[in-house]
Structure 1
Amino acid sequence: MNLKFTGLNIDVTDALKDYISTKLARITRHVDNVISVVVTLSVEKLNQKAEIDLHLSGKDLHVESVDTDMYAAIDSLMDKLDRAVLKHKEKSTNHRATPTGQMAAQSE
């Protein structure tokens, strides 16, 4: 997994990188085919903005969050990303496949 940090009007410190990396570990538990992650942190006057581009095999997810505190923006960003990854995972499963127990019951 490639992980890239970008800061616009902000220096991305090692503490921020470590914090984001530990939060991303929760996301990678749900899905194992993460190709690359681009995290962009920016400051616009009083707003702290965090964006993430997650490149999965077959899907690109873009999520962003704005808050007055950078760590709060990162927390809400990871919550949104977690929901988006779980939604993608549910959509990608084959809902038309029937379990073998149901086919055996129908043939009797």
Structure 2
Amino acid sequence: MNLTISGHHLEVSPALRAYVVSKLERVLRHFDQVIHIKVLLSKHNESQKERRQRAECSILIKGNALHAGSKHLNLYAAIDELVDKLDRQVMGHKTRVQGWRSAPVKRELSTIELH
């Protein structure tokens, strides 16, 4: 698995990087077929102060790509919200894949009547 953490208009400190990695472990615990994770942390000058810090993530997993993003006043809170969204998406993907694989094959036996 490849993990890329980058910052836009802010420097990603080792503490911030460690926080992101520790939070992403929760997502990885539910689904182990992750190929690549890309996290983008950014700071924007918006008029709404509570939406200035952004966290975006793209996860490439076997058979699909998941994307999520969040905005908040505090970058750590934005990361927490982002991981919650990703966790829900990964769990939904996992249940869809497991449901598809474990669904019984419905076969109708056609009877041929001879007259």
Same fold (TM over 0.5): yes
TM-score of the superposition, structure 2-length normalised?
0.81
1:33-72 aligned at under 5 Å gives the runs 33-45=33-45, 46=49, 47-72=52-77
Q: List per-residue Cα deviations over 1:7-58 (Å, max 9, x = no partner).
A: 1101011011000100111111100100010000010124100000001011
CA distance in 1, matches of 2:103, 2:62: 22
CA distance in 1, matches of 2:74, 2:104: 46
Q: Percent identity?
A: 41
In structure 2, list runs of 5 or more residues that go unmatched. 106-115
Partner residue in 1 for 2:14: 14
Partner residue in 1 for 2:82: 77
CA distance in 2, matches of 1:82, 1:90: 12
1:12 aligns to what SS in structure 2?
coil
* TM superposition shift of 1:97: 2.5
- Detail structure 1 runs of 4+ shifted over 3 Å in the superposition: none
Q: List per-residue Cα deviations over 1:44-80 (Å, max 9, x = no partner).
A: 1241000000010110001000000000000000000
In structure 1, list runs of 5 or more residues that go unmatched. 99-108
Amino acid at match of 1:15: A
Amino acid at match of 1:96: A
- Aligned CA-pair RMSD: 1.2
